[in-house]
Structure formats: C-alpha cells, structure tokens
Amino acid sequence: MRTLLLAAALLAPSFAFAEPLVQESAPSTISVAKEGENFRVVTDSRRYQTNLLPSVAAKNALIYQLLEIEQHTSAVEGPMTEQMIDEATARITAYPLGDSGKGEAAFTIEAKADAVEALGSFLTLTRYGCCVEMATRAIYSLESGKYLFNTTADDTYRRWVSMWAQGGFEFERLFAHHARITAADDELFGDNKNGAVIISYTTETAPLQRLMLVASQDDMDHDAPLEWMARLELVNATFPKGIDRIFVEKRGKPAELFSDAILRLTLDEGTIVEIPLVADRLDIKGARLPKDYSLIEMKL
C-alpha cells in the first residue's frame, strides 16, 4: 500500500508558482486624540483592487486594471455622541495590468467621498450627508477616468436610465438626475439657489450634456424639495407609460438612433418635466416645464 502511495506521489504533476508580476503594499494609519468630551479620529486607509471592464474605445476588448484606493476621514465621535464626519476624501489611481505586470498610471480621481465602490465600467463615490440630506453618488468612468454625473436615485439597480442600440457599448446612452437636498449641492448647483435638479446625458466614458432645472421661487420658498420623490423614465411610441431602458433594434449613426423619445422627470404628481431627445441631444427649447420653471445648459 505504501509503495502504491509513493508511486502515485511521484507520478502526480508538480506545480511551481511563478514570481509575482505585481507585489505592492500600502500602510493604513489611525490617530485618536481627545477633543473636549469627545475624540478626534483621523484614519488614512489604502487598499488594492483588480477590475475588469469592456472597452468602449477598443470595441468591447477587455481592460484589466489594478486600482489603488486611498481614503481619508476625520471625524468627532465618542461613547455619548454620534459620529460627526467633517472631512472625507478619496483618491483612486488606475493602472493597466498585463502579461508584463503593472503599467504607468492611466489616471487618478480625487474627490470628496464617504464610501468608494469600483465595479466594472464605473467608479461610485458616495456622500451620505446628514439629517434631511439624501445620499448622492458621483459616477466616474473607469475606462477614461472622466466624471460622468451625480445621481440621487436610491435603487442600486436603477441609478440611471438608458438607451442602447446594436453595435456594442459605443452605442449606449445614460440619463441620470441629482435632486436637492444633499451634501454636494453647493458644489453642484453653485450660486444658483433655485437650482433644483441636475439632469445628465452621457456615454459610458464621457458626458454629453448636463442641464440644470431651476425651480420657481414659490416652490423653493415652500421647501418643495423636501417633499419630492424624483424619478426618471423614458417615453416613446412603444412605451407611452415610461420605462427605464429602451433598446433600439437597428444600426446607424447616433443622431439617428438616439431620437424620437422623451425623458420624463417626475418630482411629484403636479411637477413633471418632459424633455425631447432629438438627434442625440436633449432639446431644451422643446421641453415641457411646470409654471415658472426653466432649464439651463451647464458647462461640462
């Protein structure tokens, strides 16, 4: 029996592990100091993550990358108080991975963020806010490194609506909305105090349009955003009641494919915005708006 076991061991294939192509380490730190009756806690964490995504530019070829994720948080907390975060930032650097190992950094993204999630084509940086503020999520392309949009849609699987057509990821369009009230409003709306919603129109790798919906003074004076349950949907002849995804069953140029539809934003039963999609553009002039509301084209 022992002879048979020895013979089996000698005949079994042996596996040798190759030298690593990439070997990295990054320390994390924490500092805790007394601050009045509470504690000031400062953390700097670093981690690595691999990621795989289809390339829009390279006609659906796969991109394999290494992400270095750094997060900084400064907060006041203690046994008798809730945690109060007064500073939270993130820095994400993307490196290509291949048979020769890690390449030069493709891009770096830096922004305010309480949470970081990287999955497939998109990086999501979340700011949770406080009290009546909703969470808002900044979405970036993990192929180009570009900022695409912010979204306050709460459903994980419906943070934006989309149209796509035959021909691959190059022929896909995303629509998203960011509605007041969030911790990012001052940065996103700037000096426009009546700015109520930002509507974004993008590809998977770059923004195409960004519109600001400006509410009436009366609605803002009566704190209408506190009551809104903003929702986006697409409407066309096939889906007159609205839907979150439309597939165009043909090939062609974007101006021909992404047209003849309406983007509908519902804030409440009486506050509805409808913007036609014409030749791959959201048509402000053709929009139907509530009384004393307006749309402004924002710089990208």
Convert the pLDDT of each residue in 261-286 to its tens digit. Answer: 999 999 999 999 999 999 999 999 99
Question: What pLDDT score was predicted for residue 159?
Answer: 80
Which residue is associated with the tokens 């306050």?
Answer: 152
Peptide bond connecting 181 to the previous residue in cis, omega within 30 degrees of 0: yes
pLDDT at 156: 57
Q: What confidence tier does 24 reach under pLDDT thresholds 50, 70, 90?
A: confident
pLDDT of 157 over the 70 cut:
no
**Exposure on the CB side of residue 9, measured as CA atoms within 13 A:** 6
Query: How close are the terminal C-alpha atoms of the chain, in Å?
Result: 75
Reading the block at residue 106, the tokens are: 């493709």
pLDDT of residue 256: 95
Tell me how far CA of residue 57 lies from CA of 115, 172, 266, in angstroms.
28, 13, 34
Q: Across the chain, which distance is largest between two alpha carbons, in Å?
A: 92
What is the mean pLDDT of the segment spanning 159-176? 92
Residue 3 has pLDDT above 80, yes or no: no
Looking at residue 169, its pLDDT comes to 84
Q: Could you report the per-residue pLDDT of 80-105, keeping only the tens digit for each?
A: 888 889 899 999 999 999 999 999 99
pLDDT value of position 15: 52
Burial 262-299 (b: 16+ CB within 10 A, else e): bbbbbbeeebebebbbbebbbeeeebebbeebebeebe
pLDDT at position 5 is 44
Distances (CA, A) of 232 to 46, 180, 196: 36, 15, 14
| 77, 106 Cβ separation under 8 angstroms | no
